[in-house]
Amino acid sequence: MKKGLVLPVVLIMLASISFPNANIFSEQAEASIVENYFPFHVGNQWTYTDGTKELTFSIIGTQEINGHTYYKFDDYFSAGLGGDGQTMGTEVLLRYDRELDAVLMYFHFRGEDVDITRYNFGGGRWAMAGLECRFKQRGVTCDVPAGQFSDCTNFQFLGYDAGPDCYGYGEYVAPGVGCVKYVVPGGACLGTDQKEGDLVTFQLRSYQILPSCGDADHPYPVGDLNHDCRVDMFDLAILSSNWLECTAPECDLRITDVTIFRCELVGNRFERFEEVHELTVGDVFVVQVEIFNFGHQTKNVLNLCGLVFSPENCVKVVASSWPSVCAANIPVPTGGRALLTPLCSSQAFKAEEAGHVIMHIYVDDWNSRTICDSTFTTEILSAQ
């Protein structure tokens, strides 16, 4: 008997329940750190100045590559990746990586087009197309012509052969704005004694950030799984496709199937003779439980699984005169299956009363610790 789940019914039941203290149902979904710092939206524009020269960057469109949405800038800061050291001098594609809390850049490197990490809010150091990149500091206050910005994050980009006194390229990014200050080395920066004060600094003079989904004024609503600021059938599709998925350690072993067999007593053993999906009052039956190991190591389980019927008086246990001692340990390797039963072969169940029956099944290890469990349903029909 395969487990059946009617998702719409489950959702209706959840919607009818009141959760006065359940914050997970009342708090707004939060944007990732990288989304808070970089407002990517077509039409956004930033203008920088070093006192004599101005640089203006705009997001002019989007582009889909390998299932990812990239935001197309008409130009962007070089940080040593190319161009004249100040800008790339060409269109640049950037995208969010929410899992890494990073901004990735689509870049032609060593003959291939690849994603490289442009900014990483996870901290530490990383490589970027021949540069050593560093997350230096968060919580910096930046005073620039466009205003004062707090909680800025400072990134540094250096050549691997740069000397210890080299400041390299530096960027300061502010929440809800993006880059507010860009520091350019005054020379080759290969060991010369260059300090930040000696370098060329472009500061944000003006900017235009258009309203967009996920910003402070337009947060993701609860249940918005694909971050489009709507809760709709697309979110339901994501939920249903991952229904009952579990990444907790106790979910490595999972009950994948339950089968009911009518049986009869042959000698001192109950022998199966017919698989059924529903029972009739008076039927004698046994239950077979299939488990599968989705984990990365062998699991040892008890061959007798636990089974509790609800209501309790709908089923009783019947037995032959043989002793009911048959417990054993079963190793289930990674990617392997095992078949368990709740009773020894000298025992079986008998359907006593008509109605819907809930079976709560649990699988234990040899030390009686429950590894996994699940609930299944069947029906007992009245005898004709």
Q: How far is CA 144 from CA 85, 313, 378, in A?
A: 21, 77, 69
Q: Which of 92, 109, 114 is nearest to 38 (CA)?
A: 92
Pick among 3.40.50.280, 2.60.40.10, 3.40.630.40, 1.10.274.30: CATH of 249-381:
2.60.40.10
Q: Which of 140, 120, 147, 146 is nearest to 131 (CA)?
A: 120
**pLDDT mean by block of 10 residues, the chain; 384 residues:** 45 45 44 80 94 93 92 89 79 89 83 85 78 86 95 82 61 93 66 52 93 82 88 90 72 88 92 92 95 87 91 91 81 92 92 93 84 90 85
Q: Which of 253, 79, 263, 254 is nearest to 182 (CA)?
A: 79
Domain spans, the chain: 7-29+221-241, 33-208, 249-381
Q: Which of 300, 308, 310, 297 is nearest to 369 (CA)?
A: 300
In this prediction the pTM is: 0.55
pLDDT at 192: 43
Instruction: Please state the separation of Cα 209 from the chain's center in Å.
Output: 29
Which amino acid belongs to residue 130? G
CA distance 133 to 149: 23
CA distance 213 to 201: 32
Any long-range contacts for 128-132 (C-beta under 8 Å, 24+ apart)?
128/79, 128/81, 128/157, 129/81, 130/159, 130/160, 131/79, 131/80, 131/81, 131/157, 131/158, 131/159, 131/160, 132/157, 132/158, 132/159, 132/160, 132/162
